[in-house]
Amino acid sequence: MTDGGGIVALTYLGSERVVANYNVMGVAKAALESTSRYLARSLGGDDIRVNIVAAGPIRTMAAKSIPGFAAFEDAWGTRAPLGWDVNDSEPIARACVALMSDWFPATTGEMVHVDGGYHAIGA
């Protein structure tokens, strides 16, 4: 028996769209997203919510391993309707905290984009 709770995992737009140099990580993130939906179904009876945050690019150690990341992050800030700061992870952290809180008691199997709106913009 559990007291409920939440699980939040991070993903990236490269699972939904082809992103140069992201390669097999896009496939891996798509698998993570699918797994989260199955977990949401399986764990819902125990009042455990499972959600995904699709974050915009942040300068991290992992980002350093993506060739051409610097050019990519520059484009993101100019195309995202709300702008984007690759040095500020606070919006992503706030989304995770909100999803884990009791403010989202009936949300599970969801992917929340925290990327300044970039995901919604066409070419």
pLDDT digit string, tens, across residues 16-54: 888 777 888 889 999 999 999 999 999 999 999 999 999
How far is C-alpha 16 from the geometric centre of its chain's CA atoms?
A: 11
Helices (H), the chain: 24-43, 61-64, 69-79, 90-100
Classified by CATH at the fold level, domain 5-118 comes out as: Rossmann fold (3.40.50)
- Catalytic amino acids? 12, 22
Q: What gap in Å lies between CA 96 and CA 58, rounded to an integer?
A: 15
Per residue in 63-95, pLDDT (tens digit) is 777 777 777 777 888 899 999 999 999 999 999
pLDDT at 1 over 70: no
* Single pTM value for the model: 0.88
**Per-chain mean pLDDT for the chain:** 89
Contact 66, 23 (CB under 8 A): no
pLDDT at residue 62, as a whole number: 77
